Chains A and B, each alone.
Chain A
Amino acid sequence: MHLERADNHTWRKIKSALASTIAFVSAILVISPLGLVFFHLLVNGAGSVNWDFLTKLPAPVGAVGGGMANAIVGSLELLAFAGVIGIPIGVLGGVYLAEYGSARINSVLRFLADVLNGVPSITWGVVVYGLVVLRFKGFSAYAGGLALGLIMIPLILRTTEEVVLLVPNGYREAALALGVSRWKTIVHIVMKTASRGIITGILLALARVGGETAPLLFTAFGNRFWNHSLSQPIAALPLQVFTYAISPYDDWHRQAWAGALVLVTGIFCVNVLVRILTRGHAASVV
């Protein structure tokens, strides 16, 4: 009896060790692509990231130097315009799903949002091309921003819904029992309690569309100069990286690496920002 138990124990120990080793190796496999990407970008791109790269316009083919300042600013403009469309609709839609509506309609809306999240991003580009670019006869920052904004809506909608649902019902009841109206309860109590999660969702959606190239191909189109009007084509970092990477020039390849490094660093910074912003809110539940 004794012996059997001890035996069992050893076997259990082996199984436990095996399981934790597999889990550890899996974790390494998950994070190693990130490390590899960063390493590769640093090796190939760091040499070309300098002050000129960040502040100058692209140089003509063959000329030395030049930068991607217009693409960096263009990406920020596109993200701002996408945010104007995607954030309010996504957040309010998510709140609606979590707080209002009938269960049946909500499950349909939720399903549609999930389908939209799965739509390949180039499809959004084609849709906006058909709706906006053809109608107004021209590529524009508006069209690019709209395409990115449309991608953001279902992303933000689903994350907002999830974090709003996480807010315990006790807080809603407590506010309503004070004679606070439904919408004030939702805005001041529920959304405030979930604000950390909502902001995280928004920033992650911005980071996601910030790296999108495909939807911009037929909408923002790209531009080698400063964009002076949102109704004109505009440069964007991922688009510029794409153009430079498929070009035959070594100089442009180096700039593409540098652009990719700047892009990844930007997205990384957004994620760090999410961490910093949410750290102070230790009291928040989500």
Chain B
Amino acid sequence: MENLVMATPERSVVEAVERMTEAPSTAEPIPACTFQVKNLSIWYGEKRAIDDVTLDIASNAVTAIIGPSGCGKSTFIRALNRMHELVPKTRVEGTVFLNGEDLYSSTVDPAIVRRRVGMVFQKSNPFPTMSIGENVVIGLRLNGVRDRKFLNERLEKSLRMAALWDEVKEDLHKPGTSLSGGQQQRLCIARALAVEPEVLLMDEPCSALDPIATAKIEELIYELKAKYTIVTVTHNMQQAGRVSDYTAFFYLGRLIEFGPTTKIFTNPTERQTEDYITGRFG
């Protein structure tokens, strides 16, 4: 039984590695970038969580953020859609440009930023009072969309993109919480996609899932990058290797190394990166 469970993800690892070797990995200068982060520092009260990070995030590619616990991975990814501001007493220095627009300009409404930069969380969180269908379109409805036909179209489209449509199309009225853990996470991805963001941020999307569900989400990430720019935080080095085109290694709030995933994993420049990747600490 245990063998059976283990067999699937391993096979998907092999597939992923095959895919990786197909994917262009020689792109040293990032061709087109969605985010330009310049000298970003973030404080929680007196504590500096992010220290002078400069980084470009490529369009239609997967960028993985790795590093040990408390290194600022989550803070960094949350700074990309201003979700970190929910914690009181945060302070930001530096700039983040989303397709050329400054996210932290005083005229920018964080709600608009978040509509354009979607997010999926570590723990799947479908709204417990809503059905599967309602969960998917709630973002549109609360942003004022009333047209039923449009909502239904978007519902199907989003669920198809999240590779969940075939599993739930008969059960759209059932509570979102009736789904399995992996399905719930894909429902949350569909919910984030329904508002048609430009970017999808994923904060350890698989850390609460079993290997089979993880493999499905990883496959989904691979498919979604054709349309979206994806930034994912992960604790899992193998996962970063499988799904990402670029990898950024954070340590103690600093960006230690950033580059194409194949280079980071096979020939890192920094000693700390190598130590972390080879499992000497972390």
Contacts and interface: CB of A to CB of B under 8 A. Distances in A.
Given A173-B83, A184-B142, A283-B177, A178 B195 contact: yes
A285 B128 contact: yes
A283 B175 CA distance: 7
Nearest to B135: A174
B119 interface: yes
Contacts of B177: 283
A188 B83 CA distance: 19
Contact of B111 (A171, A174, A179): A179
Contact of A179 (B115, B121, B123, B129): B115
Nearest to B141: A188
A193 B114 contact: no
B125 A168 contact: yes
Interface of B: 81, 83, 86, 111-116, 118-119, 121, 123, 125, 127-129, 138-139, 142-143, 175, 177-178, 188, 191-192, 195
B192 A177 contact: yes
Contacts of A189: 127, 138
Which of the four size classes fits the interface of chain A?
20 to 34
Contacts of B125: 168, 170-171, 173-174
A236 B86 CA distance: 49
A281 B81 CA distance: 33
A126 interface: no
30 contacts: A168-B125, A171-B125, A171-B127, A173-B83, A173-B119, A173-B121, A174-B121, A175-B127, A175-B142, A176-B114, A177-B114, A177-B192, A178-B114, A178-B138, A179-B139, A179-B143, A180-B111, A180-B139, A180-B142, A184-B142, A188-B138, A188-B142, A189-B138, A193-B127, A193-B128, A193-B129, A281-B129, A283-B128, A284-B129, A285-B128
Given A177-B81, A188-B138, 10 more contacts: A176-B83, A176-B86, A177-B121, A177-B192, A179-B113, A179-B115, A192-B127, A193-B127, A283-B175, A283-B177
Contacts, number: 78
Secondary structure at chain A's binding surface: helix, strand, loop or mixed?
Answer: helix
A255 interface: no
A284 B188 CA distance: 18
A229 interface: no
A20 interface: no
